[in-house]
Amino acid sequence: MDNAINFINAALFAGTPLLFGTLGELISEKAGCLNLGVEGMMWVGAFAGFFAALQTGSAMLSLLAAFGAAALCAAVYAFLTVTLRANQNVTGLTLTTFGVGLSLVLGSAMCQANGGAPNLPGSFRDKIAAFKIPIPGSGDDVVKLAVYPLTIFAIVLCISAAVFYKKTRHGLSVRASGENPAAADAAGVNVSAMKYASIILGGGICGIGGAFMSLVTANGAWMPAGIVNGFGWIAVALVIFVRWKPMLAILGAFVFGAFQSMRYYIPDSVISIPNAFYQMLPFVLTLIVLIVTSMRKSVHAGEPAAIGVNYYREER
């Protein structure tokens, strides 16, 4: 029982940044923009959030900084792909290169100025610490369900996104822009505006995911190598895995989060799988989802039909 709660805690802990990254990328992809810069934007958010926390000590400002910095990077992507119609794959990959580099360079400069890797004060860490919910019947009260405020925030964002896409006219317009921009355009939707808004908002949310990792996961220390490191790419995979559905993203992110920590909780005597396979699992599952949805050729698969394709009205 205790072990199970610990496992859930670990899944939530690892799943939260994934959830931000996944939702951010999902929002971008809904409008037809495959932004492979998630990893870069998460790194940038990780640094901006950490730096702002160090400077201001305010959790709110820290998250805003993470959101803003990543959104700014996304805006570059948006300008290049939507206005200048640059190739989405190359632009996204470049954004990753740029973002990771920028975060490391600025982080290193910060350490230089500080005379060593800085640590966030405990007072700040308390502001974003998990709520500990005692589980009745768990024997002693040492083991508690730990829920971070940011986890709840991410879930709320996902639910809002689901409602937005399902219930609102703007949601309809965004989806149409990702499915068939020519049809959306002909119906009077401002396709470029939808894409810009989606990319920038999505990028900002990815940034918050990065900030979670530098503020919470890294336990208040700036340790660039160990933090984001590939989570952005898992987020890209997750979007496919959850078939572009924000509600499924909640489940998906925590399942993938569980994969990250599963190996510590499943005793070798039960199943003995090499460590690497646990880490490989998310990607293999994603591949299977990708194949199965393509095989069924189902229009309900969820993949926005015009993903990766830039729209030019006068194309003929």
Residue 24 or 107: which CB sits closer to another protein? 107
Residue 145 or 290: which CB sits closer to another protein? 290
Q: Which of 1, 55, 101, 219 binds another protein (CB under 8 A)?
A: 101
Residue 15 or 37: which CB sits closer to another protein? 37
CA distances (Å), 299 to each of 35, 86, 247, in order?
Answer: 22, 27, 19
Residue 138 or 293: which CB sits closer to another protein? 293
Q: Which of 53, 179, 256, 262 binds another protein (CB under 8 A)?
A: 179
Range 14-33, binding another protein (CB under 8 A): none
According to DSSP, the β-strands at 144-147 and 131-134 are antiparallel
Q: Which of 135, 172, 247, 266 binds another protein (CB under 8 A)?
A: 172
Q: Both tokens of residue 8?
A: 């859930």
Q: Which of 59, 80, 128, 227 binds another protein (CB under 8 A)?
A: 80
Q: Does 12 bind another protein (CB under 8 A)?
A: no
Q: Does 89 bind another protein (CB under 8 A)?
A: yes
Query: Closest distance between another protein and the C-beta of residue 88, in Å?
Result: 9
The closest alpha carbon to 45, from 60, 29, 62, 58, belongs to 62
Q: Which of 68, 247, 279, 309 binds another protein (CB under 8 A)?
A: 279
Contact flags string 31-50 toward another protein, x per CB under 8 A: ---x-x--------------
Residue 86 or 135: which CB sits closer to another protein? 86
Q: Which of 240, 242, 258, 262 binds another protein (CB under 8 A)?
A: 240
Q: Which of 169, 267, 271, 272 binds another protein (CB under 8 A)?
A: 169
| Chain centroid to CA 274 | 27
* Among 150-158, 205-213, 258-266, 273-281, the segment contacting another protein (CB under 8 A): 273-281
Q: Both tokens of residue 47?
A: 């640094």
Q: Does 185 bind another protein (CB under 8 A)?
A: yes
Q: Does 313 bind another protein (CB under 8 A)?
A: yes
Range 187-226, binding another protein (CB under 8 A): 187-190
Query: Closest distance between another protein and the C-beta of residue 52, in Å?
Result: 17
Residue 144 or 263: which CB sits closer to another protein? 263
